[in-house]
Amino acid sequence: MDKSSARTLRISMLALAMALFGCSSREVPAVPAASTKISWGNTPEGQPVELYTLMNAKGSEARIMTYGGVVVSLKVPDRSGALGDVVAGFDNLEGYLTPPPYFGAIIGRYGNRIGAGRFSLGGMEYQLAKNNGANHLHGGTRGFDKRVWSAKPLSPQSLELSYLSKDGEEGYPGNLSATVTYTLTDANELRIEYSATTDKETVVNLTNHSYFNLAGEGDILGHQVMIHADRFTPVDKGLIPTGELKSVAGTPFDFLTAKAIGERIEQKDKQLIFGQGYDHNWVLNRTGPGLETAARVTDSKSGRVLEVLTTEPGLQFYTGNFLDGTLKGKGRVYAKRSAFCMETQHFPDSPNKPAFPSTVLRPGDTYRTTTVYRFSTT
């Protein structure tokens, strides 16, 4: 008997047992289904796009598409056990083909901003696209979020995506071979593992740009946030870090103990005015190179809890300040502060800030980083 037939037989036997003994679906352990793949249309250039569904033993589900490596949906249980989609997105590929806000996408070659779209490396100066005012943002005009990735299913719960960013793409040096693996664990974790190699000295800073709403709808101002960071990186009017590592003490950026997102977001603080809310990088308190807790978010309505663990030194906490109600998807209107991002990363503008942790990748070395979005309930 092949694996598919065996799985079908196992599911049938469970269904029969439920019918005979009056068991509910919640009393019988879920059976992991095989990852599924469907065609999800074509890019304007004619490249086919695929949509994969990962499901764990608890019935939680992640849908990942090859265009931009986007997390299209992520369904996890609330305190009553009901599944709900906790990420912003669209109902079809066309929704993702418009300009930002980068819903759910892999961001590269460099996540966040590079001042004036320019940096020097190895005695050479590189000019990148200026796609965010005078600055470079999230990899440029056509970053990793707008590329079709090659997919390789590793298991019913894991999908590997790969992309070759060629030398000179968006102005970056070196042929960069990038791999991102999504795994939906049985602990209701979405684990994201990034790796990259290059044939020429370059800079790299990969992240995921999922927008979360643990209630699934409404605003996120009541969500309680804890960020494990004593310092953050203040920015100028263009949201480029000044280079200072500033203490959060006595500021609206102190999330060492849980605070509601909306509690201080409207304060007349210069940094909040620059970002029109929270759109800043926190310098995480780290004790070693492994996975460590960066943040914890709770929603009292649904009971959902999100913990963010990462190997990265920084976390960009963004409160959807530039969503304006013009985008719609999944029956929702994406209004201002209707979702938040927790982008694990190296610091913005690191190529121009020697005191920041380096983002340089050299031939022979391998870039590796891991982030885990862990869901539970209270």
Is residue 343 flagged as an active site residue? yes
The single residue listed with the structure tokens 């008997």 is 1
Q: Which of 136, 138, 209, 280 is catalytic?
A: 209
Is residue 346 flagged as an active site residue? no
Q: Is 296 helix (H, G, I), strand (E, B) or coil?
A: strand
**What's the half-sphere exposure (Cβ side, CA atoms, 13 Å) at 237?**
2
Residue 71 CA, distance from chain mean position: 8
Joined tokens for residue 106: 């892999």
Other Cβ atoms closer than 10 A to 46 = 6
Q: Which of 152-191 are b and which e, b meaning 16 or more Cβ less than 10 Å from the residue's Cβ?
A: eeeebbbbbbebebeeebbbbbbbbebbbbbbbbeebbbb
Q: Which of 170, 189, 307, 343 is catalytic?
A: 343
Joined tokens for residue 291: 């996975």
Q: Is 16 helix (H, G, I), strand (E, B) or coil?
A: helix
Q: In what order do the strands lie in the sheet with 224-227?
A: 150-155, 158-165, 176-184, 189-198, 367-377, 304-310, 292-298, 224-227, 259-260
Contact criterion met (CB below 8 Å) for 232 and 246? yes
CA nearest 61: which of 159, 148, 141?
A: 159
Catalytic residues: 209, 343
